[in-house]
Amino acid sequence: MTSEGIGNWPGGFFRDDDSTSADDEIREVNEEDEIKEILNEPLLEGEYANNSTLYKGKLFNSDTDAYNFYCLFAKTSGFSVRRGHSYKRNKNNIEDIYKRKFICHRGGVAKQRKTTAEVEKQRKRKSSRCNCSAKLMISKRTFGFEEKWMVTCFENSHNHALLDEKEIRFLPAYRDIPINNQARILLLSKVGCSVSLIMRVLEAEKGIEAGHLPFFDRDIRNFIISQSSIDKENDASDVLKLCKDLKDNDDAFQYDFTLDESNKLEHIISVFGDSIRAYEAFGDVVVFDTPYRINRYDMPLGLWVGVNNHGSSIFFGCVLLRDEKIPSFTWALKSFVRFVKGKCPQTILTDQDHALKEAVSTELPNTKHAFCIWHIATKLPTWFSFLLGTKYDDFKTEFYRLYNLECESDFEHQWDLMVGRFDLSNNTYIEALYFHRQFWALAYLKEFFFAGMTTTGRSESINSYIKKFLDVNTSLVDFVNQVGVAVNIRNQTGEEARMRQKYHNPLMKTSFPIEEHAASILTPYAFELLQHEIELSSKYAATVIDNDSYLVRHHTKLDGGRSVTWIKEKNSIHCSCKQFEFSGILCRHAIRVLLKNDYFSIPEEYLPSRWRKESSLIPQSRHIINYNDNSSVEFRSLVQCLEVESLKTKDRVEVATKELKKVIHCLKGMPEVQENSIDLEHGVLNVDECDVENPITSKTKGRPRGSRAKGGVEAAKKPRHCHYPNCGGTDHDSRNCLIKRKKDSLLASQSSPKK
C-alpha cells in the first residue's frame, strides 16, 4: 500500500479507555516509568543501523507516519497491515486518542456464521484470519513541548507463511490506485473506454507487461463507481442548472421537465439547437425508441432519430422518463412537437408498445404510425416455434412473404390461406398480428413516405453510439453533457459527407442521360440508390396496355410484372410497387417507361428536395421566436398547406411564387426583434427558486427483478449494505458512504499538524 492518501481513521475503530479484552488488554503504567523501561531495554544487534527498521522506542511525528512505516515494512516482509483498536481518554474535557494498535491482516478470528434457517442467507466468503499475533503498538508521548508517537510494543512473529515478492501484490491492501493514475482513469472512462481498454492503455503508457499493474480490472471498476457516487445528492438540481446554462449560451436549445408530488424529478427532455434545425429539413420521418436504460436511476432513454439526405442517422432529441406508460409518452411527444415549432412528422416508426401507440394516436393524429418489423420478428420463435414444431420454418418463410406483399387484397387473401394451412385460426398472437396489420405489413405502409426504413435500427445504432459515452452509473449532468458531445460528433460526420460530395465525381454505369442528370442533383447516397434502379431497368420490358398504362416485366418472366401509369400532359408517373412513395427513390419500372418514351431527364417532382444536395444547407437561425402560442401553430399549418396546394400545378406554383416574393419583401422591411417578444423559457420552472430532488429508480417493464427464481449461488449473495455506524443504508457500502466521507474529512483536518 502506498503512503499517498493514508491517514483517515474510521470512527468505528475507536475504543473507550475502560474497554478490555483477553486479546487486547494493555497494561497501564506511569508514562515516565514506561519511557525509561522502553529506552533501557537492550536492543537487538543492528537495530539502530538504519532508519528502516522497527523497534521498541522508535519515535514518529504522527500516528499516520507510524502506520505508513509499518505498511512499508509489511510489504517488504510479505504481509499487510490492518488497523486495530484505538484508545482514547478525556484530556481537558476533550477526547484524545493516545494509543493505537496495528495488526497483521490475518490477525483475529473469523466471526461465527449464523446457522439458523430463519436468518438471511449469507455469501460463502472464505476468511483469511488465523489469529496471527504480529502487531505494532504506538502511544502518544510528550517530549518537552513536542508530541511524538512511540513504539511501545512490536511483535513480528507470524503463525502463517509469508508471501514472496510476486504474491504480495495480490493482497487488497496493495492494490490501491495511485493518485497520478486516478485522473487518467476517469478521463478514459468519460470518453467511453471500457475497463479492460483502460488497463491496456495504462500498461502501454508505463511499459508494463500485461497483467502486471499494481491493481486489477475490478479495482478500476470499483474506483469509477465510487467516484460516480460522490456528490450525487444534488444531481437533479445540478442538471437543471446545466440546462439553464446551455439555454443562456444557445437560444435554440430547448428543455423541459416535470416533478412529482414529492418534488422529485420525474421526466426531463432536451433538444439541441442543431437538432432542431436538422428536423426542419429532415423531420418528415422520425424513429422513436426506448430500448436502453443507461443512467444510474434506471430511467428509460427515449431517442428521436431521423435520416438526412446523405443517408446518415441524425439525432433530433432525447428524453428520460420515469416509466413507459401512456401519460409519460404523451408528455414526451407533446413537448417534442412544441420544441420543433409544431411541425409533426409525416410518419413515425416505433416498437410494438401499447402505451406508445396510444400516445402517438393522441398527440400525432395525422402522422402515420408503423411498428418495427424487427421487434415483431424476434418474437415469432417465442410465439410459434413450440406450437408448430417442424412446421415453424415453413411458417416463418410464408410470414415474410406476406409481409412483403404490395397489394392489400392479396395480403388479406394470402393471410387467410396461411392461417388455415398452419391451423392457427384460434391463436391469440395471430389474431393480434392481424388486428395490427396496418402498423407492420408493407401492403398498408408503402403509400406513405418512410425513407425506405422498416425498422428502428437507426435509433438503436445511435443508442449503441451514445452508450460509448454513457453507462448505468452515469449521472444526469454527465448524461446531458455526453449527449451534447455525441450530437457534435454526428454533426461532424454530416459535414464530412458534404465535403466529399464536392470533390468526388460519381461513377457512371450506363450511357443514359437521366443518370448524369440525377448525379448533378442528388447526394451520392441517394444517387447510388437511383443509379441501381437505372442499371436494373435495362433488364425490364415495358408493354403498352393503353394510352396511359404500361405493364413492366423482367425479361425472364412471362407473367406478373408491375403496372405503371404515365400521364404525359401532367408529367406524372406512378408504379404499383409504390417504391417512390415509400422511399423517395424512383423505381426501375417507372424508369423503364421514361426511357421508352425518350426521356433524357427525370421530372423534377421525382427528385425530392430531401434527397438533394442543397437540402444539406440548413439555415442557421439567429433568433428563435416562441412557437407555443396558437398563432404560431396556425402559421406553421398554413405554411404546410401552402406547399401542398402550390405544387399541384405549374400555374399554382407561379401564383404562389409571385405572392410570396411580395410577402418576403415586406417582411425584410420589418424589425427582426420585438421588445414585447415572449420569453423562450415559457413553461420551464426557474431552477434557482426550486429545490428539485433526485428522481427515484424507475421500474422496468415485465416481471419485477426480485420475483425471478434464483439459483443457489445467486440466492446466497447478500444485498449491498453499509455497516458504517449511524448509516445502515442499502444503496451503497462503507467505501462510498457519505457519512463516513464527512467523518474522515473532519478527522483528517483535526489530525493534520498546524502550521
Give pLDDT tens digits for 13-26.
333 444 334 344 33
Do 349 and 473 belong to one domain? yes
Query: Are both 481 and 542 inside the same structural domain?
Result: no
The residue with greater pLDDT, 627 or 193, is 193
| The pLDDT of residue 550 | 94
User: Could you give the C-alpha distances from 277 to 272, 273, 283, 470, in angstroms and in order?
Assistant: 9, 6, 9, 25
Element housing 149 (H / E): strand 146-155
The answer, yes or no, to whether residue 657 has pLDDT greater than 90, is no
Shared domain check, 487 and 346: yes
Provide the pLDDT for residue 644.
66
Look up residue 663 and give its three cell numbers: 410577402
pLDDT value of residue 50:
44
Residues 361, 313, single domain; the answer is: yes
Residue 461 shares a structural domain with residue 562: no
d(CA 744, CA 8) in angstroms, rounded, equals 5
Confidence of residue 595 (pLDDT cuts 50, 70, 90): very high
Based on the fold, state whether residues 309 and 362 are members of the same structural domain: yes
| Whether residues 40 and 86 fall in one domain | yes
Name the average pLDDT for the chain. 78
18 and 69 inside one domain = yes
Residue 690 has pLDDT above 60, yes or no: no
Q: Are residues 356 and 482 in the same domain?
A: yes
Domain that holds residue 313: 235-372+455-494
Q: In the chain, what percentage of residues exceed pLDDT 90?
A: 32
pLDDT surpasses 70 at 233 = no
pLDDT band with cut points at 50, 70 and 90 for residue 736: low
Q: What distance in Å separates the CA atoms of residue 134 and residue 125, rounded to the nearest whole number?
A: 24
pLDDT reading at 574 higher than 90: yes
All three cell numbers of 100, joined, read 493505537
Q: How many CB atoms lie within 10 A of CB 418?
A: 17
Which of 193-207, 629-643, 665-679, 708-722 comes out lowest in average pLDDT?
708-722
Q: What pLDDT, on a 0 to 100 scale, did the predictor assign at position 232?
A: 61
Domain shared by 354 and 253, yes or no: yes
Q: How far apart are CA 52 and CA 55, in angstroms?
A: 10
Asked if residue 409 has pLDDT above 90, the reply is yes
Q: What's the total number of domains in the chain?
A: 6
Residue 322 · residue 261 · CB < 8 Å: no
pLDDT digits (tens, 9 = 90+) for 153-199: 999 999 999 988 888 888 888 888 888 888 888 888 877 788 888 88
Which of helix, strand or coil describes residue 369? Answer: strand
Please check whether residue 685 lies inside any domain of the structure. Answer: no
Indicate whether 751 belongs to any domain.
no
SS3 call for 562:
strand
Give the mean model confidence (pLDDT) for residues 689-703.
Answer: 62
pLDDT score for 2: 41
Using the 3D structure, point to which of 174, 194, 212 is the last residue of a domain: 174
Give the model's confidence band at 40: pLDDT under 50 very low, under 70 low, under 90 confident, else very high: very low
Residue 741 identity? R
Q: Residue 103: which pLDDT band, with cuts at 50, 70 and 90?
A: very high
**Residue 547, amino acid:** N
* Domain annotation covers residue 344: yes
Q: How far is CA 150 from the centre of its chain?
A: 54
pLDDT tens for 426-480 read 999 999 999 999 999 999 999 999 998 887 666 556 656 666 656 666 677 777 7
Same domain? 77 vs 208: no
Residue that wins the pLDDT comparison between 699 and 281 = 281
Residues 162 and 270 in one domain: no
Distance of CA 136 to the CA centre of its chain: 49
Higher pLDDT, 556 or 119: 556
Q: Where are any strands of DSSP class E within 264-300? A: 265-271, 285-292
Q: How far apart are the first and last CA of the chain?
A: 28
Reported confidence tier of residue 634, pLDDT bands at 50, 70, 90: low
Q: Are 159 and 131 in contact (CB under 8 A)?
A: yes
* Within-domain flag for 531: yes
Residue 144 within a domain: yes
Asked if residue 640 belongs to a domain, the reply is yes
Q: Does residue 518 fall inside a structural domain? A: no
- Compute, in degrees rounded to 10, the torsion defined by CA atoms 702, 706, 708, 713: 150
pLDDT at 139 over 60: yes
Answer whether residue 241 shows pLDDT above 60: yes
